[in-house]
């Protein structure tokens, strides 16, 4: 397109479709995740879930992750292997392999491979040749870790394997974690965006669809974003009658996400330091498909146990069941409709980012700088290394305080309460969980009781 037509398009705001038909570019620096791409290399420095434990039976399973076709299997000694799909002999797929005591045997000529990729047997060859094959030929393999119903893998250089990060929400007392997965037919970045986009809950999950969670979600809250270097928090503070409801969405780079309760917190009842209702990773399968692997969380501080039904995790994930008719999708669109309808890889160049997208702008910028740093030789920080003595603190959750407006400027009240609630949590981070709860809840009750002083809460 010539410059002159682009210039004209700026002046043609009405019936200007003719001037807007050019195709925009995608942000390939962040959307390309396959091997030998900058972001693919960065993502290969982290553990990612690749399957639910319940999906892995006695037969091997084909899985896709970060643009690679892989085979997941459990051998008869109960070890899990994650290996390249093609046998190094003559390239048959190991999805047809046979799990044995010591690994997986290729269906075609019976070569046997351990879960670490070592060739253990190459039958039908002279003994000396067999030995040489076993010494020199390996199958590509990755380390895995099974944890609470999810199978995680690390696809990066083995010598740089980070400590498996254990976040505080993995082991909160009285909480039940229910594994689930949610597929998206689009690039990972547009799925990830939603977690730092609190505004969409007021529209997609309430006003423009139906009340998919609770009535309070329809309120547009006062939004604030926190850039904590490798994590981003977005708070939405809403007025619900005499209450102030602070909801915290959370992203830990590159793809770990949490938020408040889907059903338990609706702003109508006081709630002190509720925690996330999902613990979730947005995992790129290919450039054009994504799988969210997650636990739905049920218990006092998350969603109530009565929502722990077969469809409960799907409703927590997006407010609607995944499998529904086209008509239902039209009437009640949810996250899948909003994100997949952007196209499999959205044209970032054609976006018009607004102030409510500050969280998205911030995390993409940080992600890009981390991707570039790695290209320049600086490895990303392993998040677990920052918290050697305990679980990694996180913030996704809800607090609802009784805080009538009392004739004050309500936007200012919402902003002040939202900030004070976050400060209460920041001050207690790193403490053992029971101490942290005690301190944060005490502080939240103080905020609730405090009178407004010069626009701040004492
Ligand atoms: S192709 Fe696998 S053993 Fe021959
Ligand atoms: Fe959503």
* Residue 454 pLDDT class (50, 70, 90 cuts): very low
Single out the residue of 70, 67, 83, 65 nearest to residue 34, CA to CA. 67
Task: Please provide the average confidence, as pLDDT, over all residues in the chain.
Answer: 93
* Residue 12 pLDDT class (50, 70, 90 cuts): low
Residues with CB under 6 A from ligand 1: 87, 89-90, 92, 106, 108-111
Test site for ligand 1: of 87, 88, 122, most ligand atoms within 8 A of the Cβ: 87
Test site for ligand 1: of 83, 90, 93, most ligand atoms within 8 A of the Cβ: 90
Ligand 1 atom index nearest CA of 90: 1
111 touches 122 (CB < 8 A) = yes
pLDDT of residue 20: 83
Q: How far is the CA of 198 from the centre of ligand 2 (A)?
A: 8
Test site for ligand 1: of 94, 104, 108, most ligand atoms within 8 A of the Cβ: 108
Ligand 1 atom index nearest CA of 109: 3
Q: Which two tokens stand for residue 183?
A: 């597929």
Residue nearest to atom 3 of ligand 1 (CA): 109
pLDDT of residue 213: 87
Ligand 1 atom index nearest CA of 106: 2
* Residue 458 pLDDT class (50, 70, 90 cuts): very low
20/445: higher pLDDT: 445
Which ligand has the shortest distance to the CA of 257? 2
pLDDT of residue 2: 42
pLDDT tens, residue by residue, 145-203? 999 999 999 999 999 999 999 999 999 999 999 999 999 999 999 999 999 999 999 99
Average pLDDT over residues 254-260: 97
Average pLDDT over residues 300-308: 93
pLDDT of residue 451: 72
pLDDT tens, residue by residue, 348-404? 999 999 999 999 999 999 999 999 999 999 999 888 888 888 899 999 999 999 999
* Residue 244 pLDDT class (50, 70, 90 cuts): very high
pLDDT of residue 5: 47
Q: How far is the CA of 397 from the centre of ligand 2 (A)?
A: 15
Stretch among 11-20, 237-246, 336-345, 404-413 having the lowest mean pLDDT:
11-20
Q: Is 432 helix (H, G, I), strand (E, B) or coil?
A: coil
Q: How far is the CA of 138 from the centre of ligand 2 (A)?
A: 43
Residue listed under structure tokens 């290729």: 106
Residue nearest to atom 4 of ligand 1 (CA): 109
pLDDT of residue 455: 52
254 touches 407 (CB < 8 A) = no
Which ligand has the shortest distance to the CA of 93? 1
* Residue 8 pLDDT class (50, 70, 90 cuts): low
Phi-psi region of 9 (alpha: psi -120 to 50; beta: other; left: phi over 0): alpha
User: Cis link prior to 347 (omega < 30° from 0)?
Assistant: no
pLDDT tens, residue by residue, 193-229? 999 999 999 999 989 888 898 888 988 989 999 999 8
233 touches 391 (CB < 8 A) = no
User: Cis link prior to 261 (omega < 30° from 0)?
Assistant: no
Stretch among 255-259, 280-284, 418-422, 431-435 having the lowest mean pLDDT:
431-435
Q: How far is the CA of 121 from the centre of ligand 1 (A)?
A: 11
Q: How far is the CA of 212 from the centre of ligand 2 (A)?
A: 10
* Residue 307 pLDDT class (50, 70, 90 cuts): very high
Which ligand has the shortest distance to the CA of 92? 1
Ligand 1 atom index nearest CA of 87: 2
Test site for ligand 1: of 93, 97, 111, 125, most ligand atoms within 8 A of the Cβ: 111
Q: How far is the CA of 87 from the centre of ligand 1 (A)?
A: 6
Average pLDDT over residues 121-135: 98
Q: How far is the CA of 300 from the centre of ligand 2 (A)?
A: 22
Q: How far is the CA of 139 from the centre of ligand 1 (A)?
A: 11
Which ligand has the shortest distance to the CA of 318? 2
Q: Is 283 helix (H, G, I), strand (E, B) or coil?
A: strand
pLDDT of residue 358: 95
pLDDT of residue 7: 56
Average pLDDT over residues 101-119: 98
pLDDT tens, residue by residue, 42-94? 999 999 999 999 999 999 999 999 999 999 999 999 999 999 999 999 999 99
Does the pLDDT at position 142 exceed 60?
A: yes
Q: How far is the CA of 424 from the centre of ligand 2 (A)?
A: 26
Q: Which two tokens stand for residue 59?
A: 């037969």
pLDDT tens, residue by residue, 313-324? 999 999 999 999
Which ligand has the shortest distance to the CA of 184? 2
pLDDT of residue 10: 57
Residue nearest to atom 1 of ligand 1 (CA): 90
Q: How far is the CA of 219 from the centre of ligand 2 (A)?
A: 15
pLDDT of residue 388: 84
Does the pLDDT at position 457 exceed 60?
A: no
Which ligand has the shortest distance to the CA of 208? 2
Q: How far is the CA of 109 from the centre of ligand 1 (A)?
A: 5
pLDDT of residue 317: 92
pLDDT of residue 11: 55
Which CA distances in Å does 118 have to 79, 96, 99, 289, 396? Answer: 14, 18, 14, 31, 42
pLDDT of residue 3: 46
pLDDT tens, residue by residue, 92-104? 999 999 999 999 9
pLDDT of residue 32: 98
């Amino acid at each position: 397109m010539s410059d002159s037509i682009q210039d004209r398009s700026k002046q043609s705001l009405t019936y200007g479709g003719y001037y807007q038909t050019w195709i925009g570019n995608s942000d390939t620096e962040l959307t390309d995740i396959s091997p030998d791409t900058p972001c693919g290399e960065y993502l290969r420095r982290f553990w990612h879930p690749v399957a639910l434990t319940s999906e892995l039976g006695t037969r091997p399973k084909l899985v896709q992750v970060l643009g690679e076709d892989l085979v997941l299997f459990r051998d008869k000694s109960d070890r899990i292997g994650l290996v390249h799909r093609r046998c190094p002999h003559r390239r048959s797929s190991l999805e047809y392999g046979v799990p044995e005591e010591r690994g997986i045997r290729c269906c075609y000529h019976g070569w046997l491979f351990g879960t670490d990729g070592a060739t253990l047997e190459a039958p039908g060859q002279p003994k000396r040749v067999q030995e040489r094959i076993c010494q020199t030929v390996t199958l590509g393999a990755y380390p895995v870790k099974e944890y609470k119903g999810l199978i995680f893998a690390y696809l990066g250089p083995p010598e740089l394997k980070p400590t498996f990060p254990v976040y505080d929400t993995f082991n909160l007392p009285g909480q039940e974690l229910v594994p689930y997965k949610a597929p998206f037919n689009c690039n990972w970045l547009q799925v990830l965006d939603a977690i730092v986009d609190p505004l969409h809950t007021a529209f997609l999950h309430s006003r423009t669809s139906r009340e998919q969670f609770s009535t309070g979600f329809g309120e547009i809250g006062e939004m604030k974003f926190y850039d904590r270097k490798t994590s981003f928090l977005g708070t939405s503070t809403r007025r619900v009658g005499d209450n102030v409801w602070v909801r915290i969405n959370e992203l830990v780079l590159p793809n770990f996400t949490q938020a408040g309760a889907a059903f338990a917190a609706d702003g109508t009842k006081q709630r002190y330091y509720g925690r996330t209702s999902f613990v979730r990773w947005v995992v790129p399968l290919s450039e054009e498909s994504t799988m969210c692997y997650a636990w739905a969380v049920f218990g006092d501080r998350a969603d109530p146990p009565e929502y722990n039904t077969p469809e409960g995790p799907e409703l927590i994930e997006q407010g609607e069941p995944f499998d529904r008719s086209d008509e239902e999708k039209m009437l009640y669109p949810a996250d899948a409709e909003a994100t997949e309808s952007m196209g499999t890889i959205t044209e970032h160049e054609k976006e018009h980012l607004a102030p409510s997208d500050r969280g998205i702008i911030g995390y993409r910028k940080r992600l890009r700088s981390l991707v570039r740093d790695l290209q320049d030789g600086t490895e990303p920080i392993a998040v677990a290394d920052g918290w050697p003595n305990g679980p990694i603190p996180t913030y996704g959750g809800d607090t609802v305080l009784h805080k009538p407006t009392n004739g004050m400027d309500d936007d200012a009240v919402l902003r002040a309460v939202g900030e004070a609630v976050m400060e209460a949590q920041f001050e207690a981070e790193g403490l053992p969980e029971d101490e942290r709860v005690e301190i944060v809840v005490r502080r939240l009750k103080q905020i609730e009781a405090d009178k407004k002083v010069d626009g701040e809460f004492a």
